[in-house]
A = this chain, B = another copy of it.
Amino acid sequence: MTRDSRQTADVILRIAFPGQDRLGRGKMALLEHIRATGSISAAGRAMNMSYRRAWLLVSDLNRMFDKPSVESQRGGQKGGGAALTPFGEALLQRFRTMERAAETLLADDIGWLEAHYRPGSAGTPPPEG
């Protein structure tokens, strides 16, 4: 689902909340990069994303739920940085589990779609009307 060179069709899962908020693999990948790098700016760079964009996504995430997903860490040997909160970890793990469950559930349907898929072929003109 997060493979860079996909050979098969993938299920992309996104959650639409009533208040227009969305949760999807962009925010989840950012959480993973923050966990790996300990920094919002480094996580953004790893995703070819501006610091402003990464900051806004973290701001969205911290606002959307009753607990923040990312917390600042000041002082210490690294002189500050960012880390996932326990809620952020739980959110990330749950979303990844949801993705895997959906992929397993829909494997036969994905196979059907792949069997009919015709990549990069020339367009057939659509009908008028």
Contacts and interface: CB of A to CB of B under 8 A. Distances in A.
B117 A21 contact: yes
24 contacts: A7-B18, A9-B15, A10-B16, A11-B15, A12-B13, A12-B14, A15-B110, A23-B113, A40-B127, A63-B118, A63-B121, A63-B122, A63-B123, A66-B117, A66-B118, A70-B126, A71-B127, A72-B128, A73-B127, A73-B129, A80-B129, A87-B116, A94-B109, A94-B112
A113 B61 CA distance: 12
A50 interface: no
A89 B63 CA distance: 41
Nearest to A120: B19
Interface in A43-62: 55, 58-60, 62
Contacts of A97: 109
* Chain A interface, >50% SS class: mixed
A95 B7 CA distance: 21
B129 A81 contact: yes
Interface string A1-42: 000001111111111111101110000000000000011110
